[in-house]
Structure 1
Amino acid sequence: MTAQPETPLDRLWLVETIRLREDHAGLLDDAEANRQARAAGGTLSEQIERRALFLAQRDGQLEAWRHWHQGARLAGLLLVLLALLSGAGLAFAALGDGQRPVNVFWALGSLLGLHLLTLLGWFLGFFALGDHGGALGRLWLWLSEKFARDARAVHLAPALLMLLQQRRLSRWLLGAGIHGLWLLAMGSALLTLLALLATRRYGFVWETTILGENAFVALTQTLGALPSLLGFAQPGAEQIRASGVLGEELEGARQAWAGWLVGVTLVYGVVPRLLLAAVCVWRWRRGRSALRLDPELPSYRLLRERLQPPSERLGIKDPAPSSLPHSSAGSLPEALGNALLVAIELDDTQAWPPTLPADVTDAGILDDRHQRRRLLEQLTRHPPSRLLIACDPRRSPDRGTLALIGELSRCARATRVWLLPPPPGNTLDPARLADWHEALERSGLAPAGPAPLQWLEHGDD
């Protein structure tokens, strides 16, 4: 049994998936889904949701949704691992192996260059393009679909994006993922940087051909102003000038440059991503709670008539007639008990009904669509504890009969299928009987035991 979606967002996501599927392929076979939704009552939005969840479970979209979730988690873990390794690689590329002095501004460019460029690109996309997921967001969606490996998941990603567009939430969801991954990358770079500085001896220099040393002094002190407010060391002007001379080693300058590099990485690399990730998560959670199903969409106009007929929405205005037409095909009991016997398309050679105990209700023989629909409506409103379905095994187990048996079985707590013995003077083809048993087994339906009426009356064989 596939796990049902627990959160309102997941339920709305599946509803939107069914809507997209029906927009592309037309309305699905939804007679049973509509009946279940009408029997449960509630508002039109609630009925649309119940109908969609029933269809999603019946047609495999619910299983595909579970596979997509698994693929999304796997894709997320892969991206997290990539972010951690990339951050560590940035730190190693910035400091090197310690055999040569570290050019502080080359190191700073290695640590923060790509981060600042992608941050600028995210801001431009956010304000210029609106719901712009970025390359990482699109990569995550693509990987999620590939890892799901389920052809029925084709509408899940588009449905999620269309659902989030209601309140422009895709920018916040994908933004939280993007900034979260960069936060991991910069955090990994910072920790690796600290580990390397703690275990290796590095010298720091700066080099230039066309710029004066005053420019480097001003740039270094400007970048270090914010980190110095947090207590990080900052090289003085003389230390900065001295570091411009290759080969000059000052122990105090080493520690000051190391503190400056760590502080700048923290303030300009880790903190912006942390703040932006927190803002995106806050806006995402706030907008997610406000998502609602919109029953006024054009796709739901026909469903309104099928789920809430005018007689139910407006009330019956005409007075009741003095007499009702009587169906010559037979009638069904108005009150169904906890034990119910029903037969499907029996011919005149079968003696029916058998003698039944007082606690067992005979629902008759279902021969036409009207009888089937009426019985299914009654069973949906008042499901019996036990249902015994009698079939003539001389007939072939066609798909229509098996589908009807399946619908009836879902309306009862326990169901058995009674394959009737042939009438006197008739024989039963063993191959056809085997076909019935095989079809019932494939459908997950239980055949009746040697005493079907005893099971129906008492619940045991």
Structure 2
Amino acid sequence: MTDLTPLQQLWLTETVRLREEHAGTLEDQEANRLARHAGGDLATRVHARARWLADRDGLSEALGHWLQGARLALLAMALLAIISGAGLAFAALGDGQLPVNVFWALGSLLGLNLILLLSWALGLLFAGEHGASLGRLWLWLSEKLARDAKAAQLAPALLLLLQRKKLNRWAIGLLVHGLWLLAMLSALVLLLTLMATRRYGFVWETTILRGDTFVALTQALGALPALIGFSLPSEAMIRASGDSALNIENARQAWAAWLVGVVLVYGLLPRLLLALLCLWRWKRGRAALSLDLNLPGYSQLREALMPSSERLGVKDAAPQQLHRVEGATGTLDSDGALLVAIELDDQYPWPPQLPHGVKDAGILDSRESRQKLLEQMTRFPPARLAIACDPRRSPDRGSLALIAELARNAGASRAWLLPAPPGQALDAERLGDWHAALQQLELPFSDGAPLSWLETGHD
């Protein structure tokens, strides 16, 4: 991923913190150095460090896969909501062969919606959480559809990040109300379609209640819809519908308008208003999100990213995994050519005679010299870099990590495997180990001096 939103940057940073909390500090020397060079306050440097580590370890790519999976999961749930809403409408009205019991139809359309809406309100009021099962379903589907093992680290980090500002309730609330809004909209559209293409008669039935009860209930439910223009059956129509469905066009239209108005006012509008409320609270809270720099994972980085005095030297152990030289070099604003050697003894005369424009960076044989050169290359990256190596030594992880880090800070790089000093011969097996290691790094290498390439950029 190239451009991240502020929330996504916070999310990645939190993911890196959790990963280091459970697995130990990552090999972050280069990340810390680049973050220091980027400048800014501690939060800015923590973000820069986390972004570099996330890009290196594949978390940024996993975030892209997770977001894609989340969109697919949301689309699947939206389609299910639309189909469910249409099913509610069809179950409420039927095929038109039998009269529609208006209160059974109303219960089918609004019953489950109102019960779950009440449970949401009670959960928000007393527990502060709601819709956890639906939220967990969405997160689970997002992870499965992402099809990336590293995406499993993202969901816990997102939940922890949102819980600090209690944003998870509004995010899940927006999801819940949005899906129910789609369901009720689908039900309303199919309701109108069925009423427009079929002839329905409406009745109400009772055994133990009086007719006055249904008259009062019908008028009470229709009061709010009537305020926005929906017609209300007259008292005579209501009482007559208790015996049989009225075969009168005005009666059918009045009952149809009453049913549509009640579904709109008590089913769709509450979900719409609550979805807008959750969206407003979500945007407001998201804008206030920031790093909690008092957390142990961040406070421990203060000295490394904003040192009171610059400390030179490589203090981290060699990495367990070599990271290939790719990607970053193409974006560097580089200039000039540089030749550097790694851990040469006095049997090699150094430096060789260099062509015009090629600078000698010396021999890196100490932590201080390595760190000093890396800091200089971060500020002034060379266009071309040749790294001279002694193939009599074993290509250990520390040396290869240094070569890779040097190469990532140059426009183009090559390794120069020096010939053996006079009277000595190179070990073929060890030389093969160098070739294999440099191929793993995807770094070009040669046995001859790349001085012409350093001077001109070609051979």
Q: AA paired with 1:273?
A: R
Match of 2:316 in 1: none
Cα offset, 1:247, TM superposition: 5.2
Q: Which of these residues, 265, 281, 288, is aligned with residue 290 of structure 1?
A: 288
What amino acid sits opposite 2:294 in the alignment?
A: E
Map of 2:339 onto structure 1: 341
Counterpart position of 1:79: 77
1:133–1:372 Cα change, 3 Å: farther
Gaps of 5+ in 1: 314-335
Shift of 1:10: 0.6
Q: C-alpha displacement at 1:151, in angstroms?
A: 2.6
1:429 Cα shift? 5.8
Secondary structure at the counterpart of residue 266 of structure 2: helix
Q: Which residue of 2 aligns with 1:250?
A: 248
Note if contact 1:17-1:156 (Cα within 8 Å) is conserved in structure 2.
yes
Q: Does 1:70 align with 2:68?
A: yes
Q: 1:88 to 1:30 in 2, by over 3 A?
A: same
Q: Distance in 2 between matches of 1:448 and 1:200?
A: 83
Residue 311 of structure 1 aligns to a residue whose secondary structure is: coil
Separation in 2, partners of 1:445, 1:113: 67
SS of residue paired to 1:144 = helix
SS in 2 for 1:361: strand
Aligned match of 2:221: 223
Runs (4+) off by over 6 Å: none
Give the gaps of 5 or more residues in structure 2: 312-333
String of CA shifts for 1:97-135, please: whole Å, max 9, x gaps. 111111111111111111111111111111212243432
Q: What is the one-letter code of the residue matched to 1:233?
A: S
Which residue matches 1:331? none
What's the CA shift for 1:341?
Answer: 0.6
Q: How does 1:232-381 map to 2 (within 5 A)?
A: 232-246=230-244, 248-311=246-309, 338-381=336-379
**Local SS of the residue matching 1:310:** coil
Identity of aligned residues (%): 66
The answer as to 2:53 corresponding to 1:51 is no
Letter in 2 for 1:122: W
CA distance in 2, matches of 1:248, 1:38: 81
RMSD between aligned alpha carbons? 2.2
Change (3 A) 1:79 1:391: same
More deviation, 72-81/19-28: 19-28
Matched, 1:11 2:45: no
- Aligned CA distance change for structure 1 residues 391 and 234 (closer, same or farther; 3 Å): same
Contact 1:133–1:170, Cα closer than 8 Å, also in 2: no
Task: Report what 1:453 is aligned to.
Answer: 451
Q: How far apart, in 1, do the equivalents of 2:63 and 2:335 lie?
A: 38
Q: Which amino acid aligns with 2:286?
A: R
My pick for the range that moved more, 285-294 or 365-374, is 365-374
How far apart are the structure 1 equivalents of 2:424 and 2:100? Answer: 98
CA gap 1:189/1:450 in 2 versus in 1, 3 angstroms: farther
Give the Å deviation of 1:301: 2.3
Deviations 1:36-64 (CA, angstroms, capped at 9, x unpaired)? 11112211111111111111112222122
Take 1:126 and 1:405, find their aligned partners in 2: how far apart are those partners?
56
Distance 2:370 2:310 in 1: 21
CA distance in 2, matches of 1:268, 1:226: 9
Structure 1 residue matching 2:445: 3-state secondary structure: coil
CA distance in 1, matches of 2:99, 2:423: 104
Question: What TM-score do you get using the length of structure 1 for normalisation?
Answer: 0.89
Deviation at 1:17, TM superposition (A): 0.9
Q: Distance in 2 between matches of 1:433 and 1:388?
A: 18
* CA distance, structure 1, for counterparts of residue 231 and residue 448 of structure 2: 88
User: Offset at 1:281?
Assistant: 0.9
Compared with structure 1, are the counterparts of its residues 131 and 405 closer, same or farther at alpha carbon in structure 2 (3 Å cutoff)? Answer: farther
Structure 1 residue 202 corresponds to structure 2 residue 203: no
Compute the TM-score of the two structures, normalised by the length of structure 2: 0.89
Q: Look up the SS of the partner of 2:164 in the other structure.
A: helix
Report the Cα offset of residue 451 of structure 1.
6.6
Q: Which amino acid aligns with 2:217?
A: L
